[in-house]
Amino acid sequence: MDRLWLAAAVVAGIPLLLVGYITLAEGAVSRLPGRGSGWIRPWLWLAPGLFFITVFLIYPTVGTLRLSFLGPDSTRPVGLANYVFVFTDKSMLVALRNNGLWLVLFTLLTVGLGLLVAVLTDRVRYEAAAKSLVFLPMAVSFTAASVIWKFMFDYRPPGTPQTGTLNAVLSLIPGFQPRAWLINPPLNNVFLIVAAVWVWTGFCMVILSAALKGIPSEVQEAARVDGATEWQLFWRITFPLLGSTVAVAITIMVVFALKTFDVVYVMTNGNYDTQNTAFAQYEQLFVNHDFGHAAAIGVVLLIAILPVLAFNLRRFQQQESTR
Amino acid sequence: MAAIELRRAAAVPVAPRLERRLGRLPLHLVIVVICALWLLPSVGLLVSSFRPPQLVATTGWWTAFHPPFEFTLQNYRQVLSTYNMGTSFVNSLLIAVPATVIPLLIAAYAAYAFAWMRFPGRQGLFLVVVGLLVVPLQTTFIPVLHLFVQLGLAGTFLGIWLAHTGYGLPLAIYLLRNFIGELPKDMFESALIDGAGHWTMFFRLVLPTSVAALASLAIFQFLWVWNDLLVALIYLGGQPSVAPVTVTISNLTNSLGQGWQLLTAAAFISMALPLAVFFGLQRYFASGLLAGSVKG
Amino acid sequence: MDFQRRWPSFGAMAACILVLAACGGGAAAPSTSPGAAAPGTSASAGAAGSPAASTAQRIGGSVSVIGSWGGSEQDSFMAMVQPFMDQTGVQVQYEGSRDLNSILSTRVQAGNPPDLAGLPGPGVMRQFGQSGKLVDLSNILDLNQMKAEYAPDWLTLGTVNGKLVGIFIKTALKSAVWYDPKNFTQVAGSTPKTWNDLMTVSNNIAAGGKAPWCIGLESAATSGWPGTDWISDIMMRSAGPDKYRQWYDGQLAWTSPEVKDAWQMWGQIVANPKMVYGGVQYVLTTSFGTAASPMFANPPGCYMDRQGNFITDFYTSNNPGVKAGTDFNFFPFPDINSQYGDVDQVAGDLFGMFKDTPQSRALIKYLVTPQAQAIWVKRGGALSPNKQVPAGDYPDQLSKELAQTVVNAKTPLFSAGDMMPDAMQKAFYKAVLSYVQNPAQMDSILAGLDQTRQSAYPKQS
């Protein structure tokens, strides 16, 4: 019973609290004399967000930065040794290589397929159903995904009934020998990426589709009347208008490619040269208890994202100058 | 604000010409193939969830459609009767709903400020927020939990709402800033002329026109929180009185991995609610942001 | 719009909600504890007759426990503590996690440990013990009684720097080779007593075009462990208990001839496609629990499976109709060097105490009693380390025999992987997989393990 009250209070109360906050803040600001209000207003709108981000992300990240120059138990300074480890250790080099593969394949496939599905389903009546199917994997939890992919990639020795979908389908080809998909590098990485693409394409599809709905249909209709083919229409009209959302999707997928850990953990546990940096960091943290190494990997990830940030900066400046 | 609810022009009223129909065949084909590929793994799981475990271990799921048709509800029966399953469903909702609502509004405020207010350090600060997307959650656990212990937030629902809010914000702010930034400038200018302040512009213009973006964000955040296991175990703990569904489900198997067949049924049981939410929000995805806007 | 005028109400509401949310959220977690202490629960019978429970006082409150047990194990553990809860009014709040290591280490580091924890293994226990996180149990438990009820080796295994910080609640016997008596006697005659006999039998079966062994190394996040058990079994019998202990303590190099020999001896089996069912791909991708299912097929796909006693549960649930004794039985892992005959590879579940409270004291005292352990024993799937648990409590003849072996073991040696620090253990697991995939790389794999050894063990002062 207590719980229901809590739930009701929270569901009704939290939005009220937040709306109340901004109303108060705006009220206060508009009473300030002219000059002050312009300066302080943005910070009042940002304050709740910045508070959470500071506590939950910036504060730990500053700690991470500090730990990355300390030894395994964070007691003595080791200079750049942890960074040297990241770029010289044999297993870290494999992880970095795998991250490169993830970065390219995962990003291309999720954004590409997400865009394809969003654009194609926009033209058919069963749009909602088709999109729901592609979205479905987003709802699958990490524990369930491990079972799902077991059924897909399972291996049984030749001559016995195959239980893995992939081997069974390929066995229809004469002369095909069943394979253990997840143990042979470097191809096993591709299968892990396939599993991750299956999950995240739905994400890209949803945000791209939402953007697509925002494009006024008159624009497209006008082009059609002018005799543009659907292909031209897409590349000349639709795609440029989707540009900023495609860039957002790419950015988010690049980030996920860098920090994906659960797929690796569930499917191969980083064995057979499938570890990536996020997984390596998890191992350093929870298996080796080497906080220095783990922190250095975290910092390297932050540095790796810098080019993406630069790209975003340019894009947002463009967005603002053209609107 | 009825003006916002301008509908999109009805989509392509097709003249039923055979040529046109044939031309659209590849389109349908591609969609159907993609959908089939996407559905396949889940179908394998669904079929397996209704099969006896010994059969699942020795034969492929597709053989279920050959005689003898051996199906069972045993997995579902066992999962649903698992100790604490009902409580943990309530717990999951109790965690996920506030953990979705809080970051959504906070992110919308921040995104609005980033997109439509000018202040020094704006771009730099925004880039910091985006950069934080890449911070692996596991690096934050120890310092944040330490803080929680001192504040008495460890093991409380309030603690986990706050944690999910913090973790969800960078993505939410980033996505919303992009959508809100795309809104036409004229809309704001004419509102300004009418004497509207920021409060009015945000609640009367920005929120209603960003419904699709807010709905997509809401579903993502809800799914992440609903399916989260690690954050819950760290900040909330897995005690029966507070454990969410994910914790209860992961405890269906024992330390040697026995009982995995229950995970097949559990997967569908735990997916049911988020999928219902997705269907429920579906119409918001389909509704246009701004039709007939000045942009073209 | 005159929102300004409504400030006060908004502010008041905001404050209300914040307080409500904080209190409500805060109260939710321990909500069961005060209520549970209330009278009314004592009526239930449970183990009312057992001395441990009847002498216990009603203290109320709660005790938090984290462990790796889930599913049937969690049910058994809860059944085991039920009489305790009834008698003392203490609520046992158990949380199970498949990822115990990361949860436990994070919570301990952040200063939020549970009261008691089922520890992942002696290796992890030693790490917590050395950093002073675990409470010394020698002042809490009656040591004289413990020495009377537990074999000395079990107590030594839980001791770090002279302090008893871990106590075994349940054990397993791992030096067992399982076979299907009907099929095995046809191809092999009697069960082998020595490694040479074992290899002769294996070679004979292989010469007949059949695979003698079923091996599966897959086990989710701990894939590879069944192979480390193989190497442990070989190592303790070929190099002897002393070298074996030095090895897991990090004092004997992986590249030393003793360790290398052990890997190569296992290699004679696992690296020979004729010796294992399904070849390398099957070994690497098949779960240890289902790996031996071909043993029960007709005709059998293999004849032997080296595995701990817990495997019998998998046999019966994966192969309906299969019965202990008639369809499967075990012989002890054969001797290698006759000098080191009396060794047994064992494993077990340890409990450690992070917070010394009246409730956690009461619970740990209760868990070591034969009355408590008999509850799990009767439910099946557990061997008790406590000698006072009556043999008659085991559900079948086979587990009775296994329990006798564990309790009376002259030299019980814990699985080497579990004795090593996390990092070494994980590297060992990985090395097993790499070795099976690439036996020719053995030297570089062992050299790699030596590199891990340099950093994985705490520096001796």
For the segment B74-121, what is each residue's pLDDT rounded down to a tens digit? 999 999 988 888 899 999 999 999 999 999 999 999 999 999 998 999
Q: Could you tell me if residue C82 is inside a domain?
A: yes
Find the domain containing B43 and state its range: 16-65
> Which pLDDT score is estimated for B17?
64
Please state the rounded mean pLDDT for residues C48-56. Answer: 45
Residues C338 and C375 placed together within one structural domain of the fold: no
Chains contacting C with at least 3 CB pairs below 8 Å? A, B
Q: Could you tell me if residue B269 is inside a domain?
A: yes
CB contact under 8 A, C13 and A13: yes
CB A282 within 8 A of CB A265: yes
Tell me phi and psi for residue C427, to 5 degrees.
-65, -35
pTM of the model: 0.89
Please state the rounded mean pLDDT for residues C30-59. Answer: 43
Interface test with B, best of C6, C10, C103 (most B CBs within 10 A): C103
CB contact under 8 A, B258 and C289: yes
Residues B121 and B92 placed together within one structural domain of the fold: yes
Q: Could you tell me if residue B72 is inside a domain?
A: no
Residue C1 has pLDDT above 50, yes or no: no
> Which pLDDT score is estimated for A29?
85
In single-letter form, the type of residue at position C107 comes to R
In single-letter form, the type of residue at position A319 comes to Q
Please state the rounded mean pLDDT for residues C32-47. Answer: 36
> Which pLDDT score is estimated for B258?
87
CB contact under 8 A, B113 and A214: no
> Which pLDDT score is estimated for B195?
85
Q: Could you tell me if residue C461 is inside a domain?
A: no
C163-164 and C343-353 beta bridge pairing = unpaired
Q: Mark which residues 303-342 of C lie under 8 Å from B by CB.
A: 310, 313-314, 317-320
pLDDT digits (tens, 9 = 90+) for C104-134: 999 999 999 999 999 988 999 999 999 999 9
Please state the rounded mean pLDDT for residues A91-111. Answer: 96
* Complex-level ipTM: 0.92
CB contact under 8 A, C17 and A14: yes
Residues C182 and C163 placed together within one structural domain of the fold: no
CB contact under 8 A, C221 and A3: no
Residue C52 has pLDDT above 60, yes or no: no
Q: Could you tell me if residue C442 is inside a domain?
A: yes
Residues B138 and B54 placed together within one structural domain of the fold: no
Distance from the Cα of A204 to chain B's closest Cα (Å) equals: 11
Q: Could you tell me if residue B289 is inside a domain?
A: yes
CB C224 within 8 A of CB C417: no
By the 10 Å C-beta count (0-12 exposed, 13-18 middle, 19+ buried), A12 is classed as exposed
Residue B15 has pLDDT above 60, yes or no: no
Alpha helices (runs of H) in chain A, residue ranges in sequence order: 2-31, 34-53, 59-67, 81-88, 90-101, 107-121, 127-135, 142-153, 165-170, 187-213, 217-225, 230-232, 239-259, 262-267, 277-286, 291-304, 306-322
Residue carrying the six token digits 């279920």: B64
Residues C337 and C361 placed together within one structural domain of the fold: no
Residues C354 and C339 placed together within one structural domain of the fold: no
Residues B91 and B218 placed together within one structural domain of the fold: yes
Residues C99 and C231 placed together within one structural domain of the fold: no
Q: Could you tell me if residue B61 is inside a domain?
A: yes
Chains contacting A with at least 3 CB pairs below 8 Å? B, C
> Hey, CA dihedral for B188, B194, B200, B204, is it positive or negative?
negative
Q: Could you tell me if residue B75 is inside a domain?
A: no
Q: How many domains does chain C have?
A: 2
Percentage with pLDDT > 70 across chain A:
98
Please state the rounded mean pLDDT for residues C342-369. Answer: 95
CB contact under 8 A, A288 and C423: yes
Interface test with C, best of B255, B261, B263 (most C CBs within 10 A): B255
Work out the pLDDT band at C28, boundaries 50, 70, 90.
very low
pLDDT digits (tens, 9 = 90+) for A52-77: 999 999 999 999 999 999 998 888 99
Name the region of C220 (left: φ>0; alpha: ψ -120 to 50; beta: rest).
left
Residues B233 and B142 placed together within one structural domain of the fold: yes
Pick the more confident residue, C337 or A6.
C337
Q: Would you give the DSSP letter of residue C167?
A: E
Residues B40 and B108 placed together within one structural domain of the fold: no
> Which pLDDT score is estimated for B151?
94
> Which pLDDT score is estimated for C265?
97
Q: Could you tell me if residue C413 is inside a domain?
A: no
> Which pLDDT score is estimated for A318?
81
Work out the pLDDT band at A214, boundaries 50, 70, 90.
confident
CATH number at residue B130: 1.10.3720.10
- Residue in C79, A143, C38, A3 with CA at minimum distance from that of residue B88: A3
The SS3 of residue C184 is helix
CA separation, residue B88 to residues A144, B84, B164, C28 (Å): 17, 6, 18, 13
CB C295 within 8 A of CB C302: yes
Q: Could you tell me if residue C404 is inside a domain?
A: no
In single-letter form, the type of residue at position C5 comes to R
Residues B208 and B152 placed together within one structural domain of the fold: yes
- What is the spatial distance between Cα C27 and Cα C23, in angstroms, rounded to a whole number? 6
Chains contacting B with at least 3 CB pairs below 8 Å? A, C
Q: Could you tell me if residue B10 is inside a domain?
A: no
Please state the rounded mean pLDDT for residues A85-96. Answer: 94
Residue B216 has pLDDT above 80, yes or no: yes
Residues C105 and C220 placed together within one structural domain of the fold: no
Q: How many domains does chain B have?
A: 2
Residues C194 and C324 placed together within one structural domain of the fold: yes
Interface check for C15 against chain A (CB to CB < 8 A): the answer is: no
Q: Could you tell me if residue B165 is inside a domain?
A: yes
Residues B236 and B107 placed together within one structural domain of the fold: yes
CB atoms within 10 A of CB C49: 10
In single-letter form, the type of residue at position C100 comes to L
Q: Identify which of B57, B251, B254 has the shortest CB distance to residue C318.
A: B57
Please state the rounded mean pLDDT for residues A305-313. Answer: 91
Residues B235 and B150 placed together within one structural domain of the fold: yes
Please state the rounded mean pLDDT for residues A119-128. Answer: 89
Q: Identify which of C16, C20, C284 has the shortest CB distance to residue A180.
A: C284
CB A250 within 8 A of CB A111: yes
Residue C38 has pLDDT above 90, yes or no: no
Residues C113 and C219 placed together within one structural domain of the fold: no
Kindly report the CA angle at C257 between C252 and C258, in degrees rounded to 5?
65
pLDDT digits (tens, 9 = 90+) for A226-269: 888 888 888 888 888 888 889 999 999 999 999 888 899 988 99
Residue C6 has pLDDT above 70, yes or no: no
Find the domain containing C30 and state its range: 3-173+350-393
CATH number at residue C167: 3.40.190.10
Residue C174 has pLDDT above 80, yes or no: yes
Q: Identify which of B242, B254, B256 has the shortest CB distance to residue C29.
A: B242
